[in-house]
Amino acid sequence: MRLKNVSRVNLLPGLFKERQTVNRNYLMSLSSQALLQNFYLEAGIIMPGMQVVENPSESGLHWGWESPTCQLRGHFLGHWMSAASMLIETEHDLELEGRLRHIVSELARCQERNGNGWVGSIPEKYFDILETGVYIWSPQYTIHKTLMGLLDAYKHAGIEQALEILKKASEWHVQWITRIPEDKAWVIYEGEAGGMLEIWASLYEITREEKHMRLCKAYSGYPMFEKLLKGEDALTDNHTNASIPQAHGAAKMYEITGDDTWLSIAELFWKCAVADRPMYATGSANAGEFYIAPGRLYEALGDRNQEFCTMYNTVRLADYLYGFTGKAEYLDYIERALYNGFLAQQNKATGMPTYFLPMRPGSKKKWGTLRNDFWCCHGTMVQAQAYYPYLCYYAEDNTLTVAQYIPSQASLELNGHPVKITQSINMPYGGGLLFGAGNEGGKNRWQLEFRIESDEVFTLKLRVPVWNQGRVYLALDGQELPAEIKDGFIAITRKWNSECLTLKFNAALSLDRLPDRPDKGALMEGPIVLAGVGEISEALQLKDDKLMENFTPFVEHTYDAFPWQQSTYRTLGQNREITFKPIYEIIDEPYTIYFTIK
């Protein structure tokens, strides 16, 4: 049985809510016509005033990877639909719902004009080219995004028309796999087809129609699966964003069939990609979109580390695997990736992504533009910022698990009984003290408060982060409780009745050293990577066991200084004073993550 994400969750004011809001406003700023431009062109529908475009810069069209000249054109709309669908479900966003319903209806119009189920933004002949062996840029990847968006519009936003379009589109794909000769079965896996297995498995889960299982079987033979089952390293120098979606498909197949082989494939992928592959402090092990050979991180340190799609898709796999296994290690990974990927690679002012997160000393983030890039990472970024609510809580039978510590409110049922939980950072401003009123030990962003409303007995599980140092403080209505930790969780079973639970962790500074250059280290506070701001070339004089002797905390005492804007430090006893702040707070400043440590 899979632990289920709690979907009736809305974020409360805080860092994650701010980023979600910036993203939501960006989604709303994009015109429906521009989002649909390539679908209209493929269906032969003339956009008003677009029969001849005399001044492209003033046309309102989207460019970059969405340009009508790009072979990936149209991929972004699927990401937009998925992000909008999640916000509609969690935030009850009526404006976005209106936009999404209009876009779905226009896709139905395009599908009807195409006449055969095709709902693509690219020509059908791109699939014919796959059979020739001539290079073409990822047609299955492009189509997958549209199918994914339709699936999410049905699953999260409840739009029935989206499911009807998806089912009609599946007819086209059934016909396509039928005409592929047996001696060319490899064609089905061409064109970056990694996400197709998950789509068809998800559709079969809804319809239980044999033709959709036939599609699943057609996409079940990715060569990577056989290598993983043999215990081989199937990933070194393999394209990250093409391979991780294959593992999503294996996970979904396990969910719908219960066949342990599929679970083995998903777990072996994780073992090969994460558990057995040393990672940068941020939670990645790739450069230029390819997996780095195990332990050889220093030689790959450069401007093209940590492609964002890789971070997003690895979190999705961790989400699947936690649901199947209940192991805390997957939640710990998600937490690290949220701070040092999801937040770090989004511009907090504009919502734009950075394709890569450079790791070399003196790096600068290169941000995408609002309407002129639309990289693959542009698409996964808008989805990522809508994903937070689904990662906060999981439920099974009479157990509710708090997986991520993000201010939020959830309403759900456990064994048919209503439960409401509200999570917040317990750091009030008042009495002239910034975040300090009543706080033992002063400021601590990891002091949390939970208000639980229920009249039933159930178990509340609280994840104890792997980075926590020392004892965990736990109190119910002001009375301290024993914090008994088992397998990374504290479990409390009782009858809850509008009670207040306080939880406090301790995040110490630590150094995360490169395996192939242990003299190179990244400074961390708990799960958060701290970057040195500025052009920095000198080494740091540090000792792992006495880090705080060389740093002093810094907090701006202003009315807009929020709890989550802590984690800023200045060096002591070094050649010059260096400010370290969370990598997710860096926008345009040069920064350094890895320092020479002496």
Tokens of 212: 């959709």
Q: Are residues 411 and 488 in the same domain?
A: yes
Q: What is the dihedral of CA 240, 148, 249, 136, to 10 degrees?
A: -50
Q: Which of 449, 471, 504 delimits the end of a domain?
A: 504
Range of the domain at 475: 399-504
Pairing mode, strands 393-396 and 551-553: unpaired
Cα radius of gyration (the chain): 24
Domain count, the chain: 2
- Residue 57 domain-assigned? no
DSSP 28-62: HHS-HHHHHHHHHHHHTPPPTT-SS-S-GGGS---
- Contact criterion met (CB below 8 Å) for 535 and 573: no
Q: Are residues 403 and 489 in the same domain?
A: yes
- Residue 571 domain-assigned? yes
Pairing mode, strands 479-480 and 473-476: antiparallel
DSSP state at residue 340: I
Q: Are residues 407 and 461 in the same domain?
A: yes
Q: Are residues 573 and 487 in the same domain?
A: no
CATH code for the domain in which residue 495 is found:
2.60.420
Q: Which of 474, 504, 534 delimits the end of a domain?
A: 504
- Residue 470 domain-assigned? yes
Q: Are residues 496 and 537 in the same domain?
A: no
Q: Are residues 567 and 534 in the same domain?
A: yes
- Residue 260 domain-assigned? no
Residue 562: left if φ>0, alpha if ψ -120 to 50, beta else—which one?
Answer: beta
Amino acid in the structure at residue 444: N
Q: CA nearest 82: which of 143, 17, 16, 157? A: 157
Q: Are residues 477 and 562 in the same domain?
A: no
Q: Are residues 495 and 514 in the same domain?
A: no
Q: Which of 471, 504, 537 delimits the end of a domain?
A: 504
- Residue 471 domain-assigned? yes
- Residue 116 domain-assigned? no
First vs last C-alpha separation in the chain: 50
Q: Are residues 417 and 481 in the same domain?
A: yes
Q: Are residues 474 and 513 in the same domain?
A: no
- Residue 35 domain-assigned? no
- Residue 434 domain-assigned? yes
Q: Are residues 515 and 487 in the same domain?
A: no
DSSP state at residue 547: G
Q: What is the pTM of this model?
A: 0.96
Q: Are residues 438 and 456 in the same domain?
A: yes
> pLDDT by residue for the chain (598 residues), tens digit each?
578 899 999 999 989 999 999 999 999 999 999 999 999 999 999 999 888 888 888 889 999 999 999 999 999 999 999 999 999 999 999 999 999 999 999 999 999 999 999 999 999 999 999 999 899 999 999 999 999 999 999 999 999 999 999 999 999 999 999 999 988 999 999 999 999 999 999 999 999 999 999 999 999 999 999 999 999 999 999 999 999 999 999 999 999 999 999 999 999 999 999 999 999 999 999 999 999 999 999 999 999 999 999 999 999 999 999 999 999 999 999 999 999 999 999 999 999 999 999 999 999 999 999 999 999 999 999 999 999 999 999 999 999 999 999 999 999 999 889 999 999 987 654 444 444 434 444 567 899 999 999 988 999 999 999 999 999 999 999 999 999 999 999 999 999 988 899 999 999 999 999 999 999 999 999 999 999 999 888 899 998 888 989 999 887 655 555 555 578 999 999 989 999 999 999 999 999 999 999 9
Per-residue b or e along 526-560, where b marks 16 or more CB atoms closer than 10 Å to that residue's CB: bbbbbbbbeebeeebebeeeebeebbeeeeeeeee
Amino acid in the structure at residue 369: T
Residue 588, judged by CB atoms within 10 A of its CB (0-12, 13-18, 19+), counts as exposed
